[in-house]
Amino acid sequence: MLESHKQDILENEAEIVEQAKKDDQAFEILYHHYFPKIYGYIFKRVGNQQTTEDIVSTTFMKVFVNIKWYDHKGYTFGAWVYKIATNNLVDYYRKQGRSKEVGIEEASEIRDQNLAPDEQVQILQDKEHVKFLLSKLSKRYQKVLNLKFFAELSVQEIANVLEISENNTRVLVFRALKNFHKLYEKS
């Protein structure tokens, strides 16, 4: 049922976007749909709540101000929002003067009360190991894996965010996973 509700929102998205160009209440629907996704995507990249809130606020302010110029040109509204968020991340790192983009940073852990403490420790260690291995990948591979697995974007949406073809996106995801697998096997 939840999946069908999600499907309904996406099926009506173009209509809601058109309404949002004139109506703040329609924009609020889009905001509530995309906010948790964008927040999670940004937080996994910067690992700091205040910085995440600043970047997400900037992202949605830009979406709100520029929605009147959004035109569905073969890519979804969601891909457009992720592109704005990604550009804001690039601006943030540029301002910070960092040369290396970090893949997945510290996130507050949600503990499963049904797991024994030793199982929780093992899961935490596995997550830390994955974060470490991802940080060893190139910025481009980190970005594509974050978009694919943490932002849960489709190949078409990732292609739109990165401004590359869908075939190049598939190749990039494949190569990023292959490199991650090699690192994982060596560790």
Tell me whether residue 155 is in a domain: yes
Q: How confident is the model at residue 177 (pLDDT cuts 50, 70, 90)?
A: confident
Tell me whether residue 47 is in a domain: yes
**pLDDT digit string (tens) for 72-86?**
777 789 889 998 999
Distance from chain centroid for Cα 53: 14
Mean pLDDT lowest for which of 11-15, 40-44, 160-164?
A: 11-15
Same domain, 50 and 125: no
Containing structural domain, residue 23: 1-102
The per-residue pLDDT for 63 is 92
**pLDDT digit string (tens) for 113-156?**
566 666 666 666 666 777 788 889 898 998 888 888 777 788 88
- Mean pLDDT (whole number) for 41-56: 88
Tell me whether residue 107 is in a domain: no
For 45, the 3-state DSSP assignment is helix
The per-residue pLDDT for 113 is 54
Task: List the CATH number of the domain containing 17.
Answer: 1.10.1740.10
Task: List the CATH number of the domain containing 149.
Answer: 1.10.10.10
Same domain, 86 and 119: no
Tell me how far apart the 2 most distant CA atoms of the chain are, in Å: 55
One-letter identity of residue 95: K
Same domain, 6 and 80: yes
Long-range pairs for 9-18 at CB < 8 Å and ≥24 separation? 9/33, 13/76, 13/77, 13/78, 14/72, 14/77, 17/67, 17/70, 17/72, 17/77
Tell me whether residue 143 is in a domain: yes
Same domain, 46 and 86: yes
**pLDDT digit string (tens) for 24-42?**
888 888 998 999 999 988 9
The per-residue pLDDT for 173 is 87
